[in-house]
Amino acid sequence: MQQGKRETIAVNQLGYRVKDSKIAVITGEAGLFRLIKQETGEVVWKGRTTAAREDAASGVTVCRADFSGWEQAGTYSLETENGQRSDSFVIGEEVYGDAHQALLKAFYFFRCGMELEERYAGDWKHGACHLSPAIVYGDEKRRVDASGGWHDAGDYGKYVGPGAKAAADLLLAYEWYPAAFAAAVPVPESDGVMPDVLHECRYELEWMQRMQDAESGGVFHKLTTLRFPAPDTMPEADADELYVSPVSATATGCFAGIMAMAARVYERFDRVFAATCKAAAERAWDWLELHPEAPGFRNPPEIATGEYGDKQDADERYWAAAELYRTTGEERYHEAFLRLSELAFDKYELGWADMGGYGTISYLLSERAKDSAVAERLRVGLHRHAEQLAAVSRNDGFGISLRPEQYIWGSNMLVLNHAMLLLIADRLAETAGYEKVVLDHIHYLFGMNVIGMSYVTGFGSRPVKHPHHRPSEGDGVDEPVPGLVSGGPNLGIQDEYAREHLTGRAPAASFADVMESYATNEVTIYWNSPAVFVLSHFV
C-alpha cells in the first residue's frame, strides 16, 4: 500500500472480537472476497465488497469488505478474486488485552529518575537518569528538585501541560472502566490494593507537584536541557544541566485541573495524597486569579527544546474551574466556570493545546452541575461535535474521522482523541451509536490504513520498528520498547527525511518508519494515553 507495498488488503492485524464489526479495506476495484481459515485452508465466508471509490486522504481507490457475520473464533486471512491476500489475523473473544496492557506499561518505560530494573523492564532496562537539581531559568543561583515523572516523548523533556493531558486520559479511563485495570501491569509499586494505572499516574503527579513554585504557587512550564541530546543517547547518559522554564498560565491551569481531578480519584486509596493534590490545585488557582492577563509561553532564548507554546489559557482555566468545582463544591469555582464558558475557545477538543474538552466533560459528569442551561448547551455542543466526527468517518475510505488536512504532526493523537470523544458522547447520551465508528479507528491504528502497518510497536504482523525514541535507538536491543504509539502520517513533512522521501505523497501516506523522521514517527505519552482510554472500552 504505497510504502513498502506488499499487501493490498488492510486489516486490523491484532484481529477482531467475535461479536464486533469486522471490516477490511481493499485497494483497487470492487469484487468478490473470501475468508480463509488458516489451519485448514477452507473458505468459510464469501462476500462482495462495497463499490470502489477514490479516497482523498490516502490517494488510492478503495472498497470495503465486511465479514461481521462470521463469528467463529480462529485464525484467518482474506483473499480477493484478483489474488490479493491479507496478513493473517485472529477472531476471538478477547483480542485487545495484551495491547491494552502494553500501552499502559509504556508509561513505566517513560519514567525518569529511577532505574528501570530487568524484573519490570526486561531487555529494555536502563539506569536512573536526570537526578541532579534543576536550575530555575532566570534565577540561575536557585535550584529545585524536579526529579521523577515521565519523559514526554522521544527525547527526555518533561512538560506539565502534555503530562496533565496524559494523566487525565488515564484517570478518566480508570473512572469509566475500572475492570479494564484489574490485572497488575506490574510496576514496582504494585500492591494488589490500588490499581497499577493509579500507581503509574501518581509517579507523574508527584513530579508535577515538584514543578509548583514554592514561592508563588504558579507552575513551571517544563523541565529540559538547553538542547536535545544525540538520537542514540540513553537517558542515564544525558548529563547536561537541567533547567526549569518560567511559570506559565497554561501549565498552572493544567496543573490545577489534574490535581483537582486526582484529589477526587485518589481519595478512596490515600486520603493524605488526595489532600496534597487538592491543596496544590487550590494554590495554583490562586495564582491564576492573581494573573488574569498572563502572557502565553515562549521558549527562553537559550532553550531549543520542545516549546509547547500556547497563546490562549482560557481553556486551561476552564478545565481547572470545572475540576475544582466538581471536587470541592465551592461556588467561586462554579462562577469562574460559568464566566469562562462564555469565552470563545474550543470546548470539545482533548489535545494538550486545547484542554477545553476536559472541562466540558468534568462539568457534564459532575453531580454539582446545577446550571441546567449551561449544561444543556454544552451537552448539545458535544453531541453535535461527535456527529460531525462520525460523518467524516462514514465518508473516509478507511473509516476514520480525519479530513485530509488533519494529517498533521501527531495525527494518530487526533484519531484516538476523536475515538475517545465519540465514546464519551455515547456514554453521556446512554447510547452505543458510535461504537462501530470507534472500532474503525482501532482497526486503523493496528493496520487498517494505507501504509498497511500497525502504528503500535510490538503489536501486529507489521508493527512500527524504528520509532523516534532515544532509548529504543540507543539500548542495543533489536526490537523497540513495546506498546508505543507512533505519531503517524504528517502532510507537513517537517523533518529532513520526510522532505526528501515523502514530498508529494497523499496525506495519509506521508509516513516513514525510520528514527530520522521525528515529524511522522516520534512517540509521546499523550498519544499513548487516549489509546489506553479507547481500548479500555473493549477489554
Counting residues of the chain whose pLDDT is more than 70, the rounded percentage is 99
The catalytic residue among 20, 155, 315, 396 is: 155
Tens digits of residue pLDDT in 97-112: 999 999 999 999 999 9
Note the pLDDT of residue 368: 84
Q: Alpha helix (H) ranges present in 124-176?
A: 160-176
Cell readout for 489 is 502520517
- Does 468 qualify as catalytic in the annotation? yes
Per the DSSP assignment, residues forming a β-bridge with 36 are 43, 77
C-beta atoms surrounding 335 within 10 Å:
12
Note the pLDDT of residue 198: 98
pLDDT band at residue 5 under the 50/70/90 scheme: very low
How many angstroms separate the CA atoms of 399 and 438, rounded?
Answer: 9
Give me the torsion for CA of 323, 329, 335, 340, rounded to 10°.
Answer: 10
CB 153, CB 208: distance < 8 Å: no
CB 521, CB 511: distance < 8 Å: yes
Interhelix angle 196-210/271-290, nearest 10 degrees: 40
- Nearest partner of 147 among 79, 227, 270, 235, judged by Cα: 235
The catalytic residue among 334, 468, 469, 537 is: 468
Q: Where are the beta strands (DSSP E) in 193-317?
A: 222-224, 243-244
Tens digits of residue pLDDT in 293-349: 999 999 999 999 999 999 899 999 999 999 999 999 999 999 999 999 999 999 999
Note the pLDDT of residue 172: 98
Note the pLDDT of residue 513: 98
Note the pLDDT of residue 505: 97
How many angstroms separate the CA atoms of 279 and 369, rounded?
Answer: 22
Q: Three-state SS string across 402-434, please? A: CCHHHCCCCHHHHHHHHHHHHHHHHHHHCCCCC
**Residue range 382-398: mean pLDDT, rounded:** 98
How many angstroms separate the CA atoms of 259 and 164, rounded?
Answer: 9
CB 464, CB 453: distance < 8 Å: yes
Tens digits of residue pLDDT in 168-210: 999 999 999 999 999 999 999 999 999 999 999 999 999 999 9
Tens digits of residue pLDDT in 263-298: 999 999 999 999 999 999 999 999 999 999 999 999
DSSP states along 325-390: HHHH--HHHHHHHHHHHTSSS-SS--BTTB-HHHHHHHHHH-TT---HHHHHHHHHHHHHHHHHHH
Note the pLDDT of residue 4: 40
CB 46, CB 34: distance < 8 Å: yes
Dihedrals phi, psi of 200, to nearest 5 degrees: -65, -45
pLDDT band at residue 91 under the 50/70/90 scheme: very high
C-beta atoms surrounding 141 within 10 Å:
6
Phi-psi region of 50 (alpha: psi -120 to 50; beta: other; left: phi over 0): beta
How many angstroms separate the CA atoms of 35 and 46, rounded?
Answer: 6
Cell readout for 341 is 464558558
- Does 475 qualify as catalytic in the annotation? no
Tens digits of residue pLDDT in 105-158: 999 999 999 999 999 999 999 999 999 999 999 999 999 999 999 999 999 999
Note the pLDDT of residue 8: 85
Apex 284 CA angle, 279 and 287, nearest 5: 135
CATH number of 97-311, picked from 1.50.10.10, 1.20.120.80, 3.90.320.10, 3.90.1580.10: 1.50.10.10
- Does 155 qualify as catalytic in the annotation? yes
Per the DSSP assignment, residues forming a β-bridge with 235 are none
Average model confidence (pLDDT) across the chain: 96
**Residue range 219-229: mean pLDDT, rounded:** 97
Note the pLDDT of residue 6: 41
Show Cβ contacts of residue 233 under 8 Å, excluding neighbours closer than 6 positions: 470, 474
CB 165, CB 533: distance < 8 Å: no
Edge-first strand order for the sheet with 89-92 is 16-17, 89-92, 74-80, 32-37, 43-48
pLDDT band at residue 369 under the 50/70/90 scheme: confident
**Residue range 442-470: mean pLDDT, rounded:** 98
pLDDT band at residue 3 under the 50/70/90 scheme: very low
Instruction: Give the start-to-end residue ranges of the domains of the chain.
Output: 97-311
C-beta atoms surrounding 392 within 10 Å:
18
**Residue range 23-47: mean pLDDT, rounded:** 96
CB 319, CB 288: distance < 8 Å: no
On the CB side of 317, how many CA atoms lie within 13 Å of its CA? 28
pLDDT band at residue 1 under the 50/70/90 scheme: very low
- Does 139 qualify as catalytic in the annotation? no
The catalytic residue among 200, 213, 522, 537 is: 522
Note the pLDDT of residue 2: 42
How many angstroms separate the CA atoms of 353 and 316, rounded?
Answer: 9
Counting residues of the chain whose pLDDT is more than 90, the rounded percentage is 96
Q: Where are the beta strands (DSSP E) in 9-52?
A: 9-10, 16-17, 23-27, 32-37, 43-48
